[in-house]
Amino acid sequence: MLATDMDRATASAAAAGGAEKRAYVQRIFSEIAPRYDLLNHVLSLNIDRRWRRKAIARLGVERDKAGRYLDLCAGTMDVALEISTLPGFRGLVIGADFAEPMLRAGAKKVKGGRIAPVTADAVQLPLQSGQLAGAVVAFGIRNVAGLEAALREAFRVLAPGGRFVILEFSTPRMHVVRALYQSYFHRVLPLIGRLISGHRTAYTYLPRSVANFPVEEELAKKMTDAGFAKVTWSSLSFGVAAIHVGERPITAIRTK
């Protein structure tokens, strides 16, 4: 088997949640870190900025502007930066990602802000239970090796009443939109991603990881199973992405 074929096979296995997923995801995001921001904006036609703002609005930072918030799977910390520059914000945003080169790539743009980068895995956060006013993950939860464990960990670190917001790609349900989306996602995006990043499989992995990620109703159920209450979800851009929101109940304290 040629090296390229082997890389594609590994990408497919990782996208499906294979045993090598954690190591593969950590490696590819470390390798594409220098051009990650450029690729995000180019490949999404800059719509990703608007999606992130919508997700942050659902976090409800206005309820506690002095609180601590978590940008989970933070990457280059675009979300952390957005939160830290909200009017009147005087709290702290923890940007957690297990690919340290991603955090380093975003270090300059968050320098001097109310942001604390932390190299950490989403399934084992170095944070005390019940200390966060809110948490958000943008386009990172599908890359976690252990979705249920990550949801439970997000629940653990939230204070009662704290919100958890997930912004993630989804598959459009309208036939025409889905056909156009699939054509772009599986043909155009990998080609452009490979040309700009120089990486052979990172942008082949992306559409396959979305295809293997739970649909909106299934993700909402997993959030409920992890302990979250008031779980809702809404589609963005004809179903290309979705925002899920859940809260840690005020009256029930989870101990496990």
3-247: CATH number = 3.40.50.150
CA distance 99 to 172: 30
Given a cut of 90, is residue 253 above it in pLDDT?
no
So where are the chain's domains?
3-247
- By the 8 A CB rule, do 244 and 216 touch? yes
pLDDT number for residue 106: 94
Is residue 50 over pLDDT 60? yes
**pLDDT at residue 256 is higher than 50:** no
Whether 31 has a pLDDT exceeding 80, the answer reads: yes
According to the model, what pLDDT value does residue 200 have? Answer: 73
Q: How does pLDDT run across 35-49, given as a tens digit for each residue?
A: 888 877 777 878 999
CA pair distance 136, 71, nearest whole angstrom: 5
Strand 68-72, strand 132-138: pairing: parallel
Cα R_g (the chain), whole angstroms:
18
> Once rounded to an integer, what is the mean pLDDT over residues 134-158?
96
Residue 10 has pLDDT above 70, yes or no: no
Separation of alpha carbons 202 and 34, rounded Å: 13
Task: Render pLDDT for 190-221 as a digit per residue (tens, 0 to 9).
Answer: 888 888 788 878 888 888 899 899 999 999 99
Hey, what are 103's tokens? 């955090």
